[in-house]
Structure 1
C-alpha cells in the first residue's frame, strides 16, 4: 500500500467543505493567512521560545521563531516541489509553490498549541493533574485521563486549528486537509504512547476530543493506517520538522551568544563544516571585520542554504519510502553527514549550556507555581459550576465570569462528548492560550499580590 500526491495534497477543507477558489491566492496560501490572523498565533509573541519572560528584545519568542521556521519551510517546500514536478511526480494542477504554501502554513502552526513557559508549561500542567488535581479526572475514561495527565502541546496545536479558534467546536479554522495532515507530527493518541506502543514514547498529537477530526483528515489525505487510531505521517510533516530543526540549530545558539552564555567560536566550530569549502576563505575574511555579535547574521544565510539543499536532496532520494509510510527517522537523519552532525551538535550545545543556565532554571521553577495557581483556582470554580451553578460561592461565580461561563455551558459541551472531560479541556484551552506575561500577572492577582491593570 502506498500514498499518492493527489490525495495527500487535498485542498478540500475540514468538515468536507469544497475547495475554495480565490483570486490571488491558493487554498493553501489561504491556510497561511488564517493562521497568521488568528489570536492564537498573535499570542505567540509573548510566549517562551527558550528563555521565559526575556527582556532582551533581540531574543526569540515563539512568534519570531515560528515565522523564521515558516521562511525556511517555504523554501524547502518549493525546492522539493520543483524536484518532484521535474520528475513528473506531482498532479498536473499542483505547482511547486503549492508545496511551499502547505509547508509554510504547517510551520506557522507547529507551536501554536504551546502553553505559557513552553515545555516547562507543559510539564507544569501534567504535574498538577498528576498530583493536586488528580481527583478531577476520576470519572473520565482512561484515554481522556491520559490526555490530561500527560498534556501535550502538539495535540493542543491540532485542537487550536480544528476546535477552539474561529468557529469553536465547528471545525475551528477550517483549514485544508493537506495543511492539517502536514501539521500532525505524531499521528497517534496518548494512551498508546504512555504504554510504549508508539514510535515516540513521550509524544503524541491527538486528544480524544479531536479523534473524529483526525480520522477525517487521515482518510481524506490517504494516510496509511498502522494501528488503532494510528496513521503514518504525511510526507510533508518531515519538511516542517526539518525546518524547525534547522532553525533550532542556528537560532538557539544566536540567542545564547546574545545573552553571553556561549561564545562565537563555539557556534562557528559547529556550523563551519556545512559551508562549501570554496566559500570558507572569503567568509572568514568578512567575519574578521565585524564584532562577534554581528557574525551570526553573516553566517546564517549560508548555513540555512546548506541545510535546505541537504533536506531537499534527502527528501527526493527517499520519496518512495515517505509515500510507503516506512520512514521511522526524521529527515535530518537522512541528510548529508555534515548537516546531520551539525544540527545534532547544535542541539547538544544548547541543551548543555543554554537550557541549564541558572536564570532560565529559576524562571522555570516559578512557572510551576504560576500554572498551579491558575489550575487550582479555575478548576475549582468549573467543578462547582458543573455540580450546581446555583450553589457556587461568590468567588467561583466571579472566576466563571472572568473565563466566560458560556464556554462551559452543557448545551455547548454535551453535544461534543463527555461533558466533564471537555470542560477540563476548555480550562486547558484557556490557560494554554495565555501569554507568559498574562499567566504570571493573573496568578499574582489570584494570590492577592497583583497590581491594578486599569
Structure 2
C-alpha cells in the first residue's frame, strides 16, 4: 500500500472546501500569502531563533530564519517537482512550481507556533506545569494533561494554522490539505510519544484539540495510518525539514561569527568539503579579498546550492520509499556523506559553542522566571473562573479581559472538547503568541515593575 501524488497534492481546503481558482496564483501560493499576512507570522520578527533579545540587528530571529528556510524549501521543492515531471509522475495539471509553493508555505509555517524565547520558552512552559502549576491539571484526561505539561511548538503551529488565525475555532486560515499535511512534522499525539511508542520520543505534532482536523487532513491527502491517531509523514515534510536543517545548521554558525563566538577558519573547515571541487580555487581567491565578516556571503550560495543538489537527488532516489511510508529517518541521513558530515558538524559546533555561551544561558534562565510569572497570574485567574465565578476578583477580571473573555465563552468550547482543557489551552495560546519583548515587559508589569507602554 502506497500513497499517491494526486491525493498528496490535494488543493481542497480545510473544512472540505473546494479549491479556489484565482487568476495569477495557485491555491498553494494562496496558502503562502495567507501565512505571510497573518499576525502570528509577523510576530516571529521578535521571537528568538537562537539568541534571546539579541541587540545585534544582523542576528537571525524566527522571521528571518523562516524566510530563509522558505527560500531553500521552494528551490528544493521545484527541483523535485521538475524531476517528478520528467519521470511522468507529477499529476496533470499540476506543475513543478506547485511542489515548490507547497514546500515554501510549509517552511513559512514550520515555526509559527513557537513561543517566546524559542525552545527555552517551550521548556519553560513544560517546567511550570510539571512543578508549580501541576495542580491546575487536576481533572483533565491523561491525553489532555500531556498536551499541557508537555507543550510542543510543533503542535502549536498546527493549532495556529487550523484554529487560531483568521477564522478562530472555525478552521483557522483554511489552508489547502496539501500544505497542512506537509507542515505536520510529527504526525502523532503527545501521550504515545512520552511512552516511547513513536519514532521521535517526546516530540509530537498534534494536540487533542486539533485531532479531528488532523484526521481530516490525513484522510484527504491519503496519509497511511500507522496506529491510533498516527499516520506516516507526508513526503514533502522531508523537504521542509531538510530546508530547516540546512539553514539552521549552517546559518547559526554565521550568527556565531557575527557575535564573536566563532572564528571563520573553524566554520570554513566544516563547509569546505561540500563545495564543488572545481569551484574551490576561485572561491578561495575571492575569500582573500574580503574580511571575515563578509566571507559567509561569499560561500553561502555555493554551500546552499550543494545542499539542495544533494537533497533533491536523495529524495528522488528514495521517492518510492517515501510514498510507501518506509522512511524512518530524515532526508539528510539519505544525502551523500560530505553533506551528512557537514550538517552534523555544524550542529555539533553550534551546540557546544553557541548554545552554551554564558550570555545566552543567562537569558535562558531569566526566560523561565518570565514565563512562570505569566502562567502563575493567568492560570490563577482562569482557575477562579472555572471553579467558582463568584470567586473572580477585580484583578482576575482584568486578567481575563487581557487574554480576551471571548476565549472562555462556553459556546466556543461546546464543539471543541473539555472546558478546562480548552481554557488552559487558551492561556497557552496567549503566551505562545507573545514576542520575547512583550512577554518580558508584561511579566515586569505583573510584578509592578514595568514601564508604561501604549
2:120 alignment partner in structure 1? 120
Which residues of structure 1 form unaligned runs of 5+? none
* Partners of 1:336 and 1:256 in 2: CA distance: 26
Q: Give 1:227 shift.
A: 0.4
* Partners of 2:263 and 2:387 in 1: CA distance: 57
1:252 alignment partner in structure 2? 252
* Partners of 1:182 and 1:410 in 2: CA distance: 33
* Partners of 1:334 and 1:276 in 2: CA distance: 19
2:168 alignment partner in structure 1? 168
* Partners of 1:64 and 1:391 in 2: CA distance: 45
Matches within 5 A, 1:31-430: 31-430=31-430
* Partners of 1:340 and 1:192 in 2: CA distance: 30
Q: Give 1:292 shift.
A: 0.1
What's the CA shift string for 1:216-255, capped at 9, x where partnerless? Answer: 0000000000000000000000000000000012210000
1:22 alignment partner in structure 2? 22
Q: Give 1:390 shift.
A: 3.6
1:3 alignment partner in structure 2? 3
Q: Give 1:412 shift.
A: 1.3
Q: Give 1:36 shift.
A: 0.2
1:443 alignment partner in structure 2? 443
Which residues of structure 2 form unaligned runs of 5+? none
* Partners of 2:449 and 2:14 in 1: CA distance: 44
What's the CA shift string for 1:426-453, capped at 9, x where partnerless? Answer: 1000000000000000000000111111
What's the CA shift string for 1:141-166, capped at 9, x where partnerless? Answer: 00000011111000000000000111
What secondary structure sits across from 1:425 in the alignment?
A: helix
What's the CA shift string for 1:122-173, capped at 9, x where partnerless? Answer: 0000000001111111111000000111110000000000001110110000
**With structure 2 as the length reference, what TM-score do the two structures score?**
0.99
* Partners of 1:418 and 1:106 in 2: CA distance: 30
Which stretch has the larger CA shift, 384-393 or 210-219? 384-393
What secondary structure sits across from 1:16 in the alignment?
A: coil
* Partners of 2:187 and 2:434 in 1: CA distance: 26
* Partners of 1:81 and 1:169 in 2: CA distance: 34
**RMSD of equivalent CA atoms:** 0.6
What secondary structure sits across from 1:453 in the alignment?
A: coil
Q: Give 1:401 shift.
A: 1.4
Task: List structure 1 segments (4+ residues) > 6 angstroms apart after TM superposition.
Answer: none
* Partners of 1:76 and 1:429 in 2: CA distance: 32
* Partners of 1:427 and 1:141 in 2: CA distance: 18
* Partners of 2:117 and 2:381 in 1: CA distance: 24
* Partners of 2:92 and 2:448 in 1: CA distance: 63
* Partners of 1:93 and 1:109 in 2: CA distance: 26
* Partners of 1:412 and 1:282 in 2: CA distance: 62
Count of aligned pairs = 454
What secondary structure sits across from 1:236 in the alignment?
A: helix
**With structure 1 as the length reference, what TM-score do the two structures score?**
0.99
What secondary structure sits across from 1:72 in the alignment?
A: helix
Q: Give 1:51 shift.
A: 0.0
Q: Give 1:387 shift.
A: 2.6
What secondary structure sits across from 1:14 in the alignment?
A: coil
What's the CA shift string for 1:184-220, capped at 9, x where partnerless? Answer: 0000000000000000012000100000000000000
* Partners of 1:280 and 1:198 in 2: CA distance: 43
What's the CA shift string for 1:310-354, capped at 9, x where partnerless? Answer: 000000000000000000010000001111110000000000000
What's the CA shift string for 1:91-143, capped at 9, x where partnerless? Answer: 01110000000000000000001000000000000000001111111111000
* Partners of 1:168 and 1:385 in 2: CA distance: 22
What secondary structure sits across from 1:19 in the alignment?
A: coil
What's the CA shift string for 1:281-305, capped at 9, x where partnerless? Answer: 1000000000000000000000000
1:452 alignment partner in structure 2? 452
* Partners of 1:438 and 1:391 in 2: CA distance: 29
* Partners of 2:105 and 2:200 in 1: CA distance: 24
